Amino acid sequence: MDKKVYEEFAESLVNAYKTPGAIVALNNQIYEKGFGYRDKENELPVTADTIFGIGSTTKSMTSIAILQLQEKGNLSVDDYIKAYIPEITFKGSDEITLHHLMTHTSGIPPLNTLFYANKRSMERDGSFDVQIKLGLPLEREQDSIDTYDEFIGYLNSLSFDLLDEPGKSFSYSNDGYALLGIIIERVSGLPYEHYIEKNIFTPLGMKSSFLDPNQLDEQAARQYDIDPTAETPAIKYSPEWWDAPVMWAAGYVKSTANDMLRYSDVFLNKSNGILTEESLTAMTAQYIEIEPGRYYGYGVMITPDFFGTTLIEHGGGIKGVTAHFAVLSEKNIAAICLTNIAGAPAESLLRGALQSEMDIAPDKKAAKYDDYTLSEADCKAITGVYKSNEGQTIKVYEKDKAIFVEIQGAQIPTQAVSSRAVTITMQGTDFLLQFKDGRLHFGFRQLLKSE
């Protein structure tokens, strides 16, 4: 790795996106570097032992737990979820299996459940009202969702249709992984956090990894955020960690770079004792294509041709957290990037490090798209406002004979790559927007076009 070239690239990203602190580390002591501060106010440096949130990277751990229970004969990924959660009654739930939840192919649409599960901590930091001001479909009067019974009851109370027949199409669902957490508890007889600690953290020596925010100590990074409603948005320290125990299985693990590299043993070391080779093969299988050349397995994404090798990865983001974890198993390389603010360029920082180690320019794009000229009919077909009940509203519109996308007030130019797809650049990364049957597939979710 040419560290000088990589660090010039990384510093430019950290500065451009005003990231307070970040750590990038590769296994086998190939590379490790902290950028910025874990605590800006006191200028405390980031180290490989600084505790950050890992967000939805947690989902791979939840999938491992399900596969471990399958190895013991306690369940099958092909079982229907109602075998374990018989009180689920929402429309279409009879046909959903554990496999569907693990691959985000259940058909459950993006929902606002996560915000109500976080409501208590969001009210403490004032962000619940901010989300309402931003137009999220939330009700102040709705009670917080604090127990599994309340979570199941809320899902049953909603009036929604599945996006598709289970198994047919992909749309990322935190609710699906929360349901997996319930199944893990009911089948194992252990609280989710105790199961993960006993069967993943402890055997791998991940001594600084946990779920309960009460375990945070002086080694934890301070979390930062930006008030999007302020006239002059500025980064500020925001001490309240969002917490949603009913959603822990979807994205609430706290960890360190050192611990996450220990976690990579699951993917790199066949004698890791965490999963059998058969289960690991099942976990990293290419079940459904989510973007051209990119697939979803169980809690991980797989790109079979990442500059000639297979990339296994997953990211995560929530208030005060942007994280990305990746493994190049054929090259015995693992990498982690952890940051302490939402919207940081963690994926770009990590991929740049991997590419540098492979003697590839850190800013080279792995996915290549040809330019395409949209016809008038194409433009008419894709323009419109697309929404989800998870709070996303995306406006696609034509301006000066070009297509733009408006996301949270930001107007972003696009590059057309087919008659029904465009790309945009955010957080230092290119994102693909695909338009199919009156829906926008973006951020791994399906958003419906408003009438």
- The per-residue pLDDT for 119 is 96
Among the listed residues 318, 144, 147, the one whose alpha carbon sits nearest the alpha carbon of residue 242? 318
Please, is 191 exposed, middle or buried when counting C-beta atoms within 10 Å of its C-beta (0-12, 13-18, 19+)? middle
134 pLDDT band (50/70/90 cuts)? confident
Tell me if domain 52-111+160-232+245-357 and domain 376-449 are identical in fold.
no
Chain centroid to Cα 439, Å, comes to 21
What residues does each domain of the chain span?
52-111+160-232+245-357, 376-449
Give tens-digit pLDDT for 384-398: 999 999 989 999 999
Q: Is domain 52-111+160-232+245-357 in CATH 3.65.10.10, yes or no? A: no
Cα 407 to Cα 415: distance, rounded to the nearest angstrom: 16
Cα 13 to Cα 224: distance, rounded to the nearest angstrom: 17
Give tens-digit pLDDT for 161-217: 999 999 999 999 999 999 999 999 999 999 999 999 999 999 999 999 999 999 999
Q: Work out the mean pLDDT of the chain and round it to a whole number.
A: 95
| Signed CA dihedral, 32, 300, 183, 266: sign only | negative
pTM, entire model:
0.96
Give tens-digit pLDDT for 336-381: 999 999 999 999 999 999 999 999 999 999 988 899 999 999 999 9
* Mean pLDDT, residues 45-50 taken together: 98
Query: Quick check: 451 pLDDT over 80?
Result: no
* Mean pLDDT, residues 393-408 taken together: 92
DSSP secondary structure, 344-358, as one string:
--HHHHHHHHHHHHT
7 pLDDT band (50/70/90 cuts)? very high
CATH topology assigned to domain 376-449? Lipocalin (2.40.128)
